Amino acid sequence: MRALVVGGAGFIGSHLCDALLEEGHAVICMDNLSLGTRDNIAHLEENGNFCFYEADASQPEDVKKIFEDEHIEYVFHLAANSDIQASAENPEVEYRNTYTTTFQILLAMKKYNVKRLFFASTSAVYGDKQDVLLVEDTPGLAPISYYGAAKLGSEALIHAFTYMNDLKTLVFRFPNVIGPRLTHGVIFDFIRKLRKDSTHLRILGDGRQTKPYIYVTDLINAIMWFQGKAESGVSIYNVGVEGTTSVTAIADIMCEEMKLSEVVYEYTGGEGGWKGDVPHFQYCIDKIHNAGWKAIHTSDEAVRETIRQNIGGECV
């Protein structure tokens, strides 16, 4: 299979490139390096089944060149602005990097008759529904972040293109993804803060924000498990883990793993960590479990393993 991984030099995308190559597929990696890095894929550069394009999926000419030259058979679309806090100041980033990339990829798939698509969506499409068990067909989706809105808009485009062009499309909505090569988020921030000042930790919100955290290799295993099983139309799955972890619990695990015993926590206050943050949600993962997949790590285990991976070296 000739697979195009859009956003393939990013945190999740680079792990997906690893997995696809391990299965013997040819991997074409496309990334504009706005969040991804060459370091994430440096170990793949000598692999004869791997090639990298520094290109922007929001630009029609960049996309056209790759589809024309590489004879793509399967598209894994992970390109997005995944740093939700950063886009709060500039919503245009989401329009360009999250929504427009989807439109241009779908146009190219239509033109070059590519029929299989994986799309990385998010729990943020549901919005702030703290008292609702979030299942895949939960009605009234109302994102409260620009990121969630751009992902939901992308899902709408995908539904239309899938119907009009007889695609086989797999959509995963997943929560916070963590692990090696992490580039942002609460764990990344806490490590940097504690390396700078090991006596004090500033925590956004009240520390009781509680969410599921999925380890990146578990997510990749899910993608690989389902990528050959997609049926005609759009198949949507919540991809998650057992349990949830609070922000304060992350800080506690962090201090334990870094062997810091007298860190003073300073909370900024408020229920959410930032504008657009969903502090709590109930994520139903029965559908994907019934389909035969389950994460290896619980949320707490994913947090602890990620901390160990990142404090062992530079958190970059």
With the CA atoms of 116, 176, 225 and 75 taken in that order, what torsion angle do they form, in degrees rounded to the nearest 10? 20
Q: Minimal CA–CA distance to 143: which of 121, 126, 120, 122?
A: 126
In 3-state terms, what secondary structure has residue 291? coil
Q: Minimal CA–CA distance to 7: which of 72, 78, 104, 58?
A: 78
Strand 200-203 to 264-267 pairing:
parallel
Whether 147 is a known active-site residue: answer yes
Cα-based distances in Å from 184 to 84, 86, 177, 243, 262: 10, 10, 10, 22, 25
Catalytic residue among 147, 213, 215, 283: 147
Residues 260, 254: Cα–Cα separation, whole Å: 8
CB 8 within 8 A of CB 118: no
Residues designated catalytic:
147
